[in-house]
Amino acid sequence: MEMRPSSAGTGGSARGRRGIQATAGYAPGVEIPTVAGPARVELDEVRAPAFLLVLTHGSGGGVESPDLMAARQAGLEYGGAVARVIQPYRVRGARAPGSAERQDAAWLETVRALEDLFPGIPLIQGGRSNGARVACRTARAAGARGVIALAFPLHPPGRPERSRLDELRSAGTDVLVVNGDRDPFGVPEGDGRTQVVVLAGESHALAREPGRVGEAVSEWLADLRSQLVGLSAGRG
């Protein structure tokens, strides 16, 4: 699958194999064609990355939200390459994702193209709100070693009977959920593979003190990295 610089990008100096050079730096506005249209990727690269972290937005949102930026920073500090994905429906200007099946297929195409760029390292994927749902639903198919679910929308506001807990549990891997205690979409409970961090005073936006989001992600990444390092050592 070809990656190409987006017309919305600000330069081409990071271009290389599949359109991006896998060295340290920042590649703005790279497009990846998918079944649902092009996805746009904002890519932060590091030399010899320890993992690939792929993040995405909620319905109607973008990849500059405070919580996503905090997760991005945590990923970079722990040695990961970080890709923030603007999904095809947002690239074409729509605010709602439409079919979950088509959304998930496009997400998997995007992730696989990014994995081609960074072969042989663990994948961690995540997002906020609807993006967290996508990351959980596709984690098994993507082979993700972890999922970061920011502001996971457990149910529509005022409709707890319409639970989306099955999407969260379907991830089949380690999951970090970070929700605010004032989130009208509800807060899921943790289980053996799902750690839930509830931030006092935060709403669904997780924008009041995004540094606390970054702290939660950093702590979880530290634990996950130690597990992955131990697993690699055992196989060696």
Closest to 131 measured CA to CA, from 210, 213, 40, 59 = 59
- Report the range of poorest mean pLDDT among 13-17, 38-42, 112-116, 226-230: 13-17
Given a contact cutoff of 8 angstroms between Cβ atoms, the answer to whether 214 and 78 are in contact is no
In Å, what is the CA distance from 76 to each residue of 9, 35, 51, 140, 202? 21, 30, 10, 24, 24
In Å, what is the CA distance from 114 to each residue of 51, 89, 149, 200? 12, 19, 20, 35
pLDDT at 56 over 80: yes
Q: Where are the domains of the chain?
A: 4-235
Distance of CA 165 to the CA centre of its chain: 18
Q: How confident is the model at residue 226 (pLDDT cuts 50, 70, 90)?
A: confident
Q: pLDDT by residue (tens digit) across 113-153?
A: 999 999 999 999 999 999 999 999 999 999 999 999 999 99
Residue 117: its pLDDT value, please?
Answer: 93
Burial of 161-175, coded b for 16+ CB within 10 Å and e otherwise, reads eeebeebbeebebbb
Q: How confident is the model at residue 19 (pLDDT cuts 50, 70, 90)?
A: very low
Angle, helices 66-77 vs 210-235, to 10°: value is: 40
CA dihedral 219, 225, 228, 229 (to 10 degrees): -130
Residue 225: its pLDDT value, please?
Answer: 84
Give the mean pLDDT of 104-114: 98
Q: Where are the beta strands (DSSP E) in the chain?
A: 4-5, 25-32, 39-45, 51-56, 80-86, 123-128, 146-150, 174-180, 194-199
Q: How confident is the model at residue 228 (pLDDT cuts 50, 70, 90)?
A: confident
Q: Is CATH 3.40.50.1820 what the domain over 4-235 is classified as, yes or no?
A: yes
